[in-house]
Amino acid sequence: MIDDTDREQGTEFLPRFDANGLLTAVVIDRSSKDVLMVAFMDREALDATLETGEAHFHSRSRGRLWKKGETSGNILRVAEIGVDCDQDALVLKVEPGGPVCHTGARSCFYRRLDDGRLTFVDS
């Protein structure tokens, strides 16, 4: 049994996967610090990321391992991984090889909410 205090205050990496077996992964640009995308990792995706240094996720819609850039070629080199207090979320600091969003945008966050409507922002 893993103690909460160990998880929060220790130096051991004890990822806490949720009921669906997933961690939340926030991908940010190492240089600009912009949030580029949010995705999920199961144990397989985490291990593949740590082994290769390239971001892998678990696609909830396709139910399988998904190497970011496997189709587009825009892989994400992971420079650093931040871990949160209860170890159920990661921040991946990456050097993007191109647009991160499947729409072709630099970041998936290309809109902001203004008075209930979305406004396109520079991304």
Whether 100 contacts 35, CB under 8 Å? no
> Does 65 help bind its own copies (rule: CB under 8 A)?
no
Among residues 3, 47, 80, 95, the one that binds its own copies under rule CB under 8 A: 80
Among residues 17, 30, 34, 65, the one that binds its own copies under rule CB under 8 A: 34
Among residues 17, 24, 72, 99, the one that binds its own copies under rule CB under 8 A: 24
Q: Which two tokens stand for residue 6?
A: 């160990």
- 69 CB-near residues (< 8 Å, 6+ apart): 54, 75, 76, 97
Whether 112 contacts 35, CB under 8 Å? no
Among residues 65, 67, 74, 101, the one that binds its own copies under rule CB under 8 A: 101
> Does 72 help bind its own copies (rule: CB under 8 A)?
no
Closest separation in Å from C-beta 76 to its own copies: 16
> Does 103 help bind its own copies (rule: CB under 8 A)?
yes
Whether 67 contacts 58, CB under 8 Å? no
